[in-house]
Every structure is written in C-alpha cells, then in structure tokens.
Amino acid sequence: MPDHHNPLLLLTTGLFAGALLAIAIQRLKPKPRKEDIRSGIEECIGNTPLIRIKSLSNATGCEILGKAEFLEPGGSIKDRVALNIIKTAEGQGLLRPYSGDVVYEGTVGSTGVSLAMLCRARGYLAHICMPNDQSLEKSSLLLKLGAALTTTSPAPIVSPTHFVNLARTLSTTHPTLPSSTPSSHGYFANQFETPYNFAAHYTTTGPEIFSQCGGRLSAFVSGAGTGGTLSGVAAYLKSQDPKIKIVLADPQGSGLYNKIKHGVLFSPTEKEGTRRRSQVDTIVEGIGLNRLTHNFSLGRPLISDAIRVSDEEALAMARFLVEKDGLFLGSSSAVNCFAAVKLAMELGPGHRIVTILCDSGTRHLSKFWKGMEVGASWDMEIGDVLGASKIRRFSDGARHNREQVPAGLKNEEFAA
C-alpha cells in the first residue's frame, strides 16, 4: 500500500504535475507569426487572386478564371509594367530617385495612372501626354496623383503631335517643370515598344497564373493594346506547357484579328469605299490596334486563334458580370470575358480557360458604362450576352456610347 504521506513521493509527484502543466501552457501559447509587411506600395503589386467566374463557368461547363488585376494598388494590370520600366531604368542609371528626374509617357489610360502613382512612391515626377478629349475620370486622377498633364488634339501615329510622339519629344528636350532641378533627366517610358513591358508579364503574371492553376490550364485569352500582357504571359505559359492554347480577344475595328486569322493587318472599316475619318468605331478602350507593336510581335507566333467582340457583346457581358457575379469591370475586361465564353463553347465542357480582368468599371463611367442600367426587370441569361448584337437595347446603348468617341481617332488612341 503506497505511503501518501511520504515527502519524497509528494515532491516527485508535484514536480511531475508541474512539468506537465508547464508543457500544456507552452502549447497553448500562440506561436510567433511570420511578419508580412510590405515596404511601400511597390511591394503590393502582383500576386493578385485568380477568380473562378461562377456565372460563366456554370453556363459553359468550362472553368473560366479571371486574374483580378483590378485589385492592383493602382487599379490595373499596368502597375506591373510601370514598376518594371522604372526599376529597369534605375538599374541602368537612367533614373535617379529624388533628383528631379521626370518620366514621360503617352497614354490615355491605365499606364499613365500607374506611372503617376509609382513616380510619387519612388521619388520621380510623371509627365503624361494624352488626347484632349478623354474622360474626365482619367485626367482628374492623373492630376490628383501629382502628374504634369499635357493634352493634344487627336492625330495619327505618324504625326509628331500624336500623344506618344509628343511624350518622346518632351523626354529628349526635357522642359523644366516647377519642381525639377536643372540637372534632372527626362526618361521616355515607351510602353508600346519597350521589351520591359513584355518582361514584366513573362516574369510575374505568367508564372503566377501557371502556379495558381497548379500547372493545369487549357487556354489563355487576352486582348492586346501594347501587346505586352498577351505576349509575355503566352511566352511563359508555352515554355511550361506547349499544349496551352493562346487566343487573342479583339474589339471591333481593330486590325489585329485579321492579322492572326489571315496574316494581314486590316480592319473592315478600311475597305475601299467605306473608309471613314474614324477608322476604329468602338467604345472599348485599352485594347485593339491597327498597327503592330514590338511587344505584340514578340508573342505573335504563339497565338493560335483570335475572337472578335462587338461593342454590343462587350456591353452585354459587362452588365451580365455585374448582375450575376458582382464584378464591375471595364471595357477591355468585358471583351476578354466574352472571348473566353466563345472559346469555352468551341472547346467544349471540362476545359480551364484563364483571362485577364484588367481594370474596374470606375474609369469607364463616362463612356463605356454611360447610359447602361443594371438590374431593373430583366434577368439576363448567357444567351442574351451571346446574342447581344441582335438585341435592340444593346445596339442603342452602343450607339449612344459610341457618340462619345471623337471622330479622327484610331484604336491606338484608346490603347493602354
């Protein structure tokens, strides 16, 4: 019979119980967590979610995924390009932080916003050249980000007054801005032709998509403005799996569709006898061109097909995504998603298709989204989207919105 009054036994038992209690308490203590702190807004760029678009996936039997680039800190996929251009220039000694150096770029869209944001973050000034008839949202945002803004009348790309050419000229003459220093440099970002655009997507967007898909995807679909996204992502994906299909999504009036389909850069609006002052009659901004850029040419051999999307189809898709998924997207994203659905129908159920959700609809309120209502008494179905060109309400809406597009502009004026 054990002696419960034995001092040694009591001491041993107490020590053992105390040790067990200490172990239990230690296990209950929260483990030190790994810190996840970003050094500045630059380190917030990239690694955006890949979203399963439920309505489109359910309607087609394919898994349609959208890379949510509208969640970038600057609001669009152009953050990646702007950051890579700036960092590469810094590495080459062409830009020096807090020295008064100025980054010049010709743009009517998201690239200017991304550059303006990052220039402020990294100690530079941004000088943006754009046509004088663009939406108030874009010019206001650029000014609020502290960018210098020069506007110019719409002109063809061969003209010295075209906004891209004007930016190039200003970068070489580098007029002194109020906050510049006499020794400051001017740097032309040159998003359409610089290989750093392509490289941004080859090294970040493409690898992210492939990893997020676990290496399993059937096709990648995207529009092309500068061509950097489509070419860079395509090159990376093809290097990992040559069977992945690369498809161009192209708005009406752009010549890239015919370049892929028939080998000739040609738009129906350029037919003999139908040539008009406005060669690209579309409300879609950010994608589509009637000229070849270096960035597009880099990926041209990898593109196996092209899908043309009308204004009515883009408008219908944009509304459908709001009503069914709560996704409020811009015009180029709507084109991408429509093309993804068309490709899903061609491939048949069971495939995985990835596209880009380039930016949100907040920068497209005064043009693309103007006059379009969501909800009301019409419960849309996917058939309404696919047959949108024949539906009166979208035809009227597209014509109404297209009136906002000034005559004389080619689609490159709306790209990037």
CB burial readout 282-312, b (16+ within 10 A) else e: bbbbbbbbbbebbbbebbbebbebbbbbbbb
Instruction: Report the share of the chain in percent with pLDDT over 70.
Output: 83
How many degrees, rounded to 5, is the angle at CA 152 between CA 168 and CA 89?
25
Q: How far apart are CA 117 and CA 141, in angstroms?
A: 10
Using one digit for the tens of pLDDT, what is the confidence trace for 216-238?
Answer: 999 999 999 999 999 999 999 99
Q: Is 78 a catalytic residue?
A: yes
Q: Which CATH class is domain 50-57+63-71+204-372?
A: alpha beta
Find the mean pLDDT for residues 398-403.
Answer: 45
At residue 9 the predicted structure's pLDDT band, cuts being 50, 70 and 90, is low
How many degrees, rounded to 5, is the angle at CA 246 between CA 260 and CA 313?
70
Using one digit for the tens of pLDDT, what is the confidence trace for 272-322?
Answer: 444 443 445 688 888 998 889 999 999 999 999 999 999 999 999 999 999
Query: Which spans in 256-310 are helix H?
Result: 256-262, 294-299
| Residue ranges with strand state E in 141-214 | 148-152, 186-188
Mean pLDDT, the chain, whole residue set: 86
Using one digit for the tens of pLDDT, what is the confidence trace for 308-351?
Answer: 999 999 999 999 999 999 999 999 999 999 999 999 999 999 99
77-188, what's its fold?
Rossmann fold (3.40.50)
161 torsion bin: left (phi>0), alpha (psi -120 to 50), beta (else): alpha
At residue 109 the predicted structure's pLDDT band, cuts being 50, 70 and 90, is confident
At 8, list the tokens: 């040694």
Q: Comparing C-alpha atoms, which of 157, 76, 156, 153 is closest to residue 118?
A: 76
At residue 414 the predicted structure's pLDDT band, cuts being 50, 70 and 90, is very low
pLDDT at 105: 97
User: Of the ranges 20-24, 210-214, 399-403, which is most confident?
Assistant: 210-214
pLDDT at 275: 40
55 burial (CB, 10 Å; 0-12 / 13-18 / 19+) is: buried
Phi, psi of 222 (to 5 degrees): -160, 150
Residue 143 has pLDDT above 70, yes or no: yes
Residues 6+ apart with CB under 8 A from 137: 362, 363, 364, 365, 366
Q: Which of the two residues, 368 and 198, has the higher pLDDT score?
A: 198
Question: Which residue type is seen at 36?
Answer: D
Find the mean pLDDT for residues 68-88.
Answer: 97
Question: Which residue type is seen at 282?
Answer: T
18 burial (CB, 10 Å; 0-12 / 13-18 / 19+) is: exposed
At residue 369 the predicted structure's pLDDT band, cuts being 50, 70 and 90, is confident
pLDDT at 350: 97
At 97, list the tokens: 């932080």
| Residue ranges with strand state E in 133-244 | 148-152, 186-188, 219-222
| Residue ranges with strand state E in 172-285 | 186-188, 219-222, 245-251
Residue 409 has pLDDT above 50, yes or no: no
Residues 6+ apart with CB under 8 A from 261: 305, 306
Residue 8 has pLDDT above 90, yes or no: no
pLDDT at 273: 40
Find the mean pLDDT for residues 138-166.
Answer: 90
Instruction: Report the share of the chain in percent with pLDDT over 90.
Output: 61
Q: How far apart are CA 342 and CA 116, in angstroms?
A: 36
Find the mean pLDDT for residues 133-140.
Answer: 80
Q: What is the DSSP letter of 201?
A: I
Catalytic residue among 67, 78, 138, 238: 78
Find the mean pLDDT for residues 400-408.
Answer: 40
Q: What Rg value do the Cα atoms of the chain yield, rounded?
A: 26
| Domain ranges in the chain with CATH number 3.40.50.1100 | 50-57+63-71+204-372, 77-188
pLDDT at 48: 98
At residue 250 the predicted structure's pLDDT band, cuts being 50, 70 and 90, is very high
